Every structure is written in C-alpha cells, then in structure tokens.
Amino acid sequence: MGHAIKAAGGEGEDAYDAWHYWSEPYPGNTPEFLRDKWDSFQPPFSVGWSWIAEQARVHGYNDAATVFAPIANAAPRADGADAAPPSIFTEWAYVSCIKRFANVTTRALLDKEQFSDLHPHIGETLKGEKSAAATYLKNRAQRQWCDRLTYRPEAPVFVDEAGDRAFNTWSPSGLVLPIAVTDAEVAPFLAHAEYLFPDGKERGDLMDWCAAS
C-alpha cells in the first residue's frame, strides 16, 4: 500500500499523511518507524492510484465521479434520483444472453456495473433499484432488448435471426485507402483464391471474412 500511495501522491506530506493514517492502527507501528519506512519507498513503483482504487472498489468505493465529468443542467427528480435521459435508450441496447449493455454506435459491451459507472448521474451507482442499469431495464416502453449477438457485415445494428432480435457487432471500418486498386492488381489474389476454394460459396465466405477483417 505504501508504494501505491507514494506513486500516486508523490513525496509530499499529504501523501505521507495518507500513508501514516492508513498504517498507524497496525500494532507496533510508531511515527519513527512509519517515517523510516516511507523514506525507504523508492521508484520505480509497480502499483499506483489505479491499484488503490481497485482495492477500494472491493469495499464499496465508487470512483466514477473522478473519471467522468458531471452532466451540466441535470435536473434532479423529486425523489432525489435523476431521471434517465431519452438518449440512454437510443444509444444503448441490452443483450440478454450475455447480460451486457451494447452501444449502438461504438458496439462497446458493458456489464451492469460498468454501465452504471458510466452513468453516475442516474440515481445510485453500481447497485440498487435506482442504478442506471436498473433504470434502463425497468423501462419496458423505451429500452432496446436483444436476445443475442450476431456478426453481419453491412447489415443494420438490429437483425432478425430466426425470430430472435440480434445485436450486430459489425461496424463500418474507418479505414480510407490512400490509392485506388485496379482489377489487374487484385487479379492474382482472386485467381489464387479460386484455386484454393473452387466452391463459389466458400470463396465468397472467404472474401467476406477478408473484407470484414
């Protein structure tokens, strides 16, 4: 812990005070011992603030407020929990088979705790009936529900598959080719692909996989 505090807070007295406060209750720790121990901590350190936060989260600490900026002009509800903005229902879907929230733009997948961390302004975070995750799931009228994931290049975000509503994890590539490619340049590759995969469907699957990758 001392290494992590010093890595996160530096050599200053504030960091030492945090180390002293945390260590003093342990039997046998005297101010002199703690000062000597503190001075013995020298970089490079393998742990720091992220490790401290990880340990603290195990005991209920929520650092979302230090990671995400507050939303301006967020009006609280009368019961003290902020209402969910409409955008949360258009920007996210819930995939029931993997119990994950899926972003319709980035295709990012978050569990319930991560989703609530990302929306700390919506009621209580991480747990309870007023967490962001619970607020989303309870709103049957606005939530976007999917049964499973799929991967369909060029298809829309939501795809019907055998009666199930599937969330398409494929997203358009932002890659822009610097120059145009001629038919003559790709002809050797196409000829080789035809040699390896005489079956047209198999060859088409290969081309789809190459294009998507």
Q: Which amino acid is it at 208?
A: D
Which stretch, 10-14, 43-47, 54-58, 111-115, has highest mean pLDDT?
Answer: 111-115
Q: What is the mean pLDDT of the chain?
A: 83
182 token code pair: 């001629």
Residue 72 pLDDT greater than 70, yes or no: no
Mean pLDDT of 149-153: 93
pLDDT of residue 122: 80
Do the Cβ atoms of 41 and 6 come closer than 8 Å?
yes
Question: Which of these, 58, 64, 164, lies nearest to 110 by C-alpha position?
Answer: 64
Question: Cis link prior to 85 (omega < 30° from 0)?
Answer: no
- Sorted by where each begins, the domain ranges of the chain are 2-61, 69-172, 183-212
The helix, strand and coil proportions of the chain, stated in percent and rounded to the nearest 5, come to 40, 10, 45
Residue 110: band (very low, low, confident or very high) from pLDDT cuts 50, 70, 90: very high
**Window from 55-59, 84-88, 149-153 with minimum mean pLDDT:** 55-59
CB 124 within 8 A of CB 130: yes
Question: C-alpha dihedral over 192, 198, 204, 205, to 10 degrees?
Answer: -100
For residues 60 and 197, give the distance between their C-alpha atoms in angstroms, rounded to a whole number: 56
Output the pLDDT for position 102: 95
Choice between 20 and 67, residue whose per-residue pLDDT is larger? 20
Contacts of 127 (CB under 8 A, 6+ apart): 116
Mean pLDDT on 1-27 = 81
